[in-house]
Amino acid sequence: MKKRPMLAALVLVALGVVIGAAIVSFFGEDGVSSAFAQMRKRIELGSGQPPVKIESSAQILNNAFVAVSKAVNPSVVTIAVVTERKADPRMKQFENFFGFRFFGPNQRGQRGDPQQRPDGDDEDDDSQGFRSQGSGSGVILTGDGFIVTNNHVIEDAKDITVTTFDGHELKGKLIGRDELTDLAVIKVEPKSGVNLTPSFVGNSDEVQVGEWVVAVGNPFGTLQSTITSGIVSAKGRGLSGAGRNPYSVENFIQTDAAINPGNSGGGLFNLEGKLIGINTAIATRTGAFQGYGFAIPVNLMRSVVEDLLDDGKINRGYIGVNITSVNEATAKALGLDKVSGILVQDVIKNGAGKAAGIQEGDVILEVDGTPVKTSNELQGLISMRRAGDNVNLAIWRDGKRITKTVTLKARDDEKEITAEPGRPSAPNDKETDSAPVKFENLGLTVEPLTSELRRELDVTAGVVVSKVTPYSEAAKIGLRPGAVILKADKQSVQSAKQFKDILTAKRGQAVLLQVKDGNVTRLVGLEVSRQD
């Protein structure tokens, strides 16, 4: 009987040795001691408390960004497209030269360098073009599947795929697009288990420079549902340059929230989660974000979308004038008490403005009671009206404020129309002086027109600019050799001597000049030095 307890004890000892050996072999001798040490006491990493106690106001702002990010992310989608278009090398040249980038799925690709192949690689493709893949962003506007994006994202798209915030893929169908505002509407059909969260559309007129905003989109086609933050850094920005459609509507909200390729068509939101803009372009010399992005105001977006949903096309109204913003010299020349308003450079024949009595040299101060300071602002306000709408314009003319009611017309009425020259008959060559006249302090030299120059330049009166000194007052307002000064201080210029007399009478003031440069006729203000 005594042998059994002894045998059991030996078995237990042997078992303990085996288990101990296993533990040592697994952890090592140091590991065993470390493991047991961790059992006794947890290792503390770092200091015992954060070095800074955040102020309640900062915590509130932090919470606001967290809340708006959670709220708006589901209303922004990724849009993947397969496009087919003819190669157009001009756009890249214009973008690189002017430093503005309008992202699109081909040469303005959303995934860095897009995957392109000649359409000739497919027997059904046009050998003159390219097929490419790219992506952008979009914002859900309705629960039944209408989505707004940029025109340049879906332009020439053969296939559109929409991916929601929670990863569902839906086929998209183009409803309508507007090249002039760079907006488009697509439609997806919701399927079972997919909830589409529409955004809350705000009022871009209430947006203030300096307020916090977040940009939401899918940069580079891979970083889906990305939130970046910044402020509204400016309003009423225009990006027009060579290669851009002269009728393009550009009244952008500028922001320093990071926007990159793939963000196009995404949303710009304020801290209340209100959609205030559709991201569309950046100012860049590298093709990627360098500090400033541009968004289409939602009030303009709303107008375009309503038109597209109504009948798939835009019924935009036009005044029928060529315009430019008023600068300081022009304001002085016209007797304005401040630098504000839009100068009418030209009035289109048979256009709405002509019918309402708008004249060259008028300054548009207000549209339906809303002051306008830049041509972009005027363009933005008018673009939200339809053909047939009446607008009341407050106008500065001959030192007085008057009001004109304009019934807007569609642009189709004005396609083949040119501006009225309104030039007087040509003077006799014998009446003109032959000697050039130099204005030293203005950096300007003018010469009389010969009969040959009149025929060549298609003018009947004026003086031709023969020399402009770099960085002079004349250079600042865009005068250059070959341009013809047709009028000065609203008087038709018949000779170089007369032009000199007009400027002499305006010493220390500003004078309004009508200048023809190539095929373009414009009005500019020139400040006249007291010495000339």
30-53 confidence digits (pLDDT tens): 555 555 555 556 788 888 788 888
- 371 φ/ψ angles, rounded to the nearest 5 degrees: -65, 145
Integer angstrom CA distances of residue 511 from 390, 448, 489, 526: 33, 20, 6, 5
What are the tens digits of pLDDT across the range 329-382? 889 888 998 998 999 988 988 899 999 999 999 999 999 999 998 888 898 889
Catalytic residue among 264, 375, 383, 495: 264
Copy the structure tokens of residue 350.
Answer: 């048979």
CATH 2.30.42.10 residue window(s) in the chain: 321-414, 429-527
What are the tens digits of pLDDT across the range 264-298? 899 999 999 999 999 998 766 666 666 788 999 99
What are the tens digits of pLDDT across the range 427-467? 444 444 567 888 988 889 999 888 888 888 788 889 999 99
Measured CA to CA, the distance from residue 295 to residue 204 in angstroms comes to 11
Neighbours of 205 (CB within 10 A): 12
What are the tens digits of pLDDT across the range 242-259? 445 667 788 899 999 888
Measured CA to CA, the distance from residue 433 to residue 450 in angstroms comes to 10
What pLDDT is recorded for position 505?
Answer: 87
Please, what's the b/e burial string for 97-106 (b: 16 or more CB within 10 A of its CB; e: otherwise)? ebebbbbbbb
Copy the structure tokens of residue 59.
Answer: 């915590």
The CATH number of the structural domain formed by 321-414 is: 2.30.42.10
What are the tens digits of pLDDT across the range 472-515? 888 888 898 989 999 888 888 988 888 988 888 888 888 899 99
H or E stretch at 355:
helix 352-356
Measured CA to CA, the distance from residue 74 to residue 198 in angstroms comes to 8
What pLDDT is recorded for position 127?
Answer: 45
Pairing of strands 200-201, 274-283: parallel
pLDDT surpassing 50 at residue 129: yes
What pLDDT is recorded for position 49?
Answer: 83
Measured CA to CA, the distance from residue 378 to residue 394 in angstroms comes to 12
Q: What is the mean pLDDT of residues 209-231?
A: 87
The CATH number of the structural domain formed by 56-314 is: 2.40.10.120
Counting beta carbons within 10 angstroms of the beta carbon of residue 387, is it exposed (0 to 12), middle (13 to 18) or buried (19 or more)?
middle
Copy the structure tokens of residue 74.
Answer: 């589901």
Neighbours of 357 (CB within 10 A): 14
What whole-number percentage of the chain has pLDDT above 70? 76
What pLDDT is recorded for position 34?
Answer: 57
Measured CA to CA, the distance from residue 204 to residue 215 in angstroms comes to 15
What pLDDT is recorded for position 14?
Answer: 67
What pLDDT is recorded for position 434?
Answer: 63
Q: What is the mean pLDDT of residues 77-93?
A: 67
Copy the structure tokens of residue 346.
Answer: 């030209």
Measured CA to CA, the distance from residue 124 to residue 121 in angstroms comes to 9
What pLDDT is recorded for position 111?
Answer: 34
384 in Cβ contact with 376 (< 8 Å): no
Pairing of strands 169-178, 183-188: antiparallel
376 CB-near residues (< 8 Å, 6+ apart): 236, 237, 238, 250, 251, 252
Say whether 182 is catalytic. Answer: yes
Secondary structure, 3-state, 191-247: CCCCCCCCCEECCHHHCCCCCEEEEEECHHHCCCCEEEEEEEEEEEECCCCCCCCCC
What pLDDT is recorded for position 441?
Answer: 86
Measured CA to CA, the distance from residue 531 to residue 265 in angstroms comes to 55
Neighbours of 234 (CB within 10 A): 13
What whole-number percentage of the chain has pLDDT above 90? 35
* Residue type present at position 446: V
**What CATH number does domain 429-527 carry, 3.30.9.10, 3.40.50.10860, 3.40.47.10, 2.30.42.10?**
2.30.42.10
What pLDDT is recorded for position 218?
Answer: 87
- What are the helix (H) ranges across 41-173? 56-72, 89-98, 151-154
Catalytic residue among 119, 156, 178, 182: 182
H or E stretch at 9:
helix 3-40
199 in Cβ contact with 277 (< 8 Å): no
Catalytic residue among 137, 152, 178, 375: 152
CATH 2.40.10.120 residue window(s) in the chain: 56-314
Closest CA to 187 of 134, 142, 133: 142
What pLDDT is recorded for position 143?
Answer: 92
- Residue 27 CA to chain centroid, in angstroms? 63
Integer angstrom CA distances of residue 251 from 235, 299, 318: 7, 11, 16
Please, what's the b/e burial string for 275-287 (b: 16 or more CB within 10 A of its CB; e: otherwise)? bbbbbbbbbbeeb
Say whether 168 is catalytic. Answer: no
What pLDDT is recorded for position 532?
Answer: 54
What are the tens digits of pLDDT across the range 52-81? 888 888 889 889 999 999 999 999 999 999
**Rg for the chain (alpha carbons), in Å?**
34
Band the pLDDT of 176: cuts 50, 70, 90.
Answer: very high
Pairing of strands 342-347, 321-325: antiparallel
What are the tens digits of pLDDT across the range 3-17? 666 666 666 666 676
Say whether 126 is catalytic. Answer: no
pLDDT surpassing 70 at residue 468: yes
pLDDT surpassing 90 at residue 392: yes
* Residue type present at position 70: K
If you average pLDDT over every residue of the chain, what do you get? 80
